Structure 1
Amino acid sequence: MSSFHWLLVLLFSITPTVEGRYAIIYGIGIGLDPKHVFIVASITIVLLAIALGALIHYIDSLIIGFKDSRYELFRAVYRFYDRYLLRIRRKARPYIEKYGLIGLIVFVAAPLPGTGVWTGALVSYVFGIDRRRTLLGLSLGGVLSNLIVFILAFFFKVVLWG
């Protein structure tokens, strides 16, 4: 397979809402080596966790600055972000308040819409989880999510479609 497909796996792995879990489905689906797809997606997820852990404060500040922009598009981005933060606070609060770091890992690992490393980074930021625990929670949760999807995708490809 061409390096273009590997580049797409890499790019999908860092894209919000797509992340490694869908990159794995894409890579396996187009015929890339499943274990290499898992490794590339997981390494990329850990690198994303490191970057987001360090940058989420700045991303938040930038988007909050859009609130008073003279451009409607920036104000719309702020409104979307503000609603999204309210939603993830409600969604993540039971996990974080009851289980702490384990709750963050489970929240990130659940291969469901509205979870993942990007959302987990916001959850961690909103709930004031320190950087070390954020990095651990995002990395472990992201790799676990990849593993869950990898096992399911591999099962469907090998067992059901031969």
Structure 2
Amino acid sequence: MFVKYLIIFLISMVPIVELRGAIPVAVGMGMEGWQLFWAYVVCVIGNMLPVPLIYFFARKVLIWGKDKKYIGKFFTWCYNKGEKGGKKLQAKAGRGLFIALMLFVGIPLPGTGAWTGTLAASFLDMGFKKSVIAVMCGVVIAGIIMGAASLAVSMGAGGIFSLLAPKA
């Protein structure tokens, strides 16, 4: 069982895939009940672990690597994506930036996870504590959505309702 938790922990730390890919893997591995609950907790922790590093160092590393021969194009793309995401979020959110960041991270679409959200928050100089809390709330929301969607696919839509129905 430890190996299964380790696998989903590592998957949830990978950019782009993150918790959105790790939870369906956990469901696909046959985790259910309390195992699935603990898998969810492991995925949230794994997804949040890189957040402080991203907040404090990602922008500096991207700026450093933008003019390098082999990695310059990729680093420039990542830098521009973070800057564009931050500006777009700021323009739409105004003073509701915390909620906007939380929803941005919480809606499980490609490119809207904890990595991109944290990078955007660092570009906006949002503040570390506020950024981490907003991203964590978003990761929790995304995890709930992905867990429900994964269970619905694996059990069929009727399976979800049978889990919620009171036992006789």
Normalised to the residue count of structure 2, the TM-score between the two structures is 0.81
| Structure 1 contact 16–118 (Cα < 8 Å) conserved | yes
- Code of the residue aligned with 1:40 in structure 2: it is V
Is residue 2:148 matched to residue 1:151? yes
Residue deviations 1:22-78, cap 9 Å, x none? 1000110121232232121123234x2xx4235523221122112333xx2122232
User: AA paired with 2:147?
Assistant: F
Match of 1:105 in 2: 102
After superposition, the C-alpha distances for 1:95-140 in whole angstroms (9 at most, x for unaligned) are 4325221111101101001101001101111111111111110111
Is 1:15 paired with 2:17? no
Letter in 1 for 2:11: F
Equivalents in 1 of 2:51, 2:156: separation in Å?
Answer: 37
Q: Secondary structure at the match of 1:73?
A: coil
- Partners of 1:142 and 1:8 in 2: CA distance: 18
Residue in 1 that maps onto 2:44 = 42
Q: Give SS of 1:68's match.
A: coil
- The count of aligned residue pairs is 156
Q: Cα distance 1:82–1:55, how it changes in 2: closer, same or farther (>3 A)?
A: closer
CA distance in structure 2 between the aligned counterparts of 1:18 and 1:57, rounded to whole angstroms: 21
Distance 1:96 1:116 in 2: 17
| Aligned-CA RMSD value | 2.2
Helix, strand or coil: the match of 1:145? helix
Which has the bigger relative contact order, CA under 8 A and spacing at least 6? 1
Query: Within 5 Å, which residues of 2 pair with 1:12-161?
Result: 12-33=11-32, 34-46=36-48, 48=49, 51-53=50-52, 55-69=54-68, 72-97=69-94, 99-160=96-157
Alignment identity in percent? 23
> TM-score with structure 1 length normalisation?
0.83
Structure 1 residue 158, shift from structure 2 partner: 2.4
Unpaired runs of 5+ residues, structure 1, are: none
Q: Counterparts of 2:90 and 2:53 in 1: how far apart (Å)?
A: 22
Query: Does the residue aligned with 2:66 lie in a helix, a strand or coil?
Result: helix
Unaligned runs of 5+ in 2: 160-168
**C-alpha distance in structure 2 between counterparts of 1:95 and 1:133, whole Å:** 18
When residues 13 and 65 of structure 1 are mapped into structure 2, their CA distance, relative to the original with a 3 A threshold, is same
Higher helix share: 1
Q: In structure 2, how many angstroms separate the alpha carbons of the residues matched to 1:55 and 1:80? A: 16
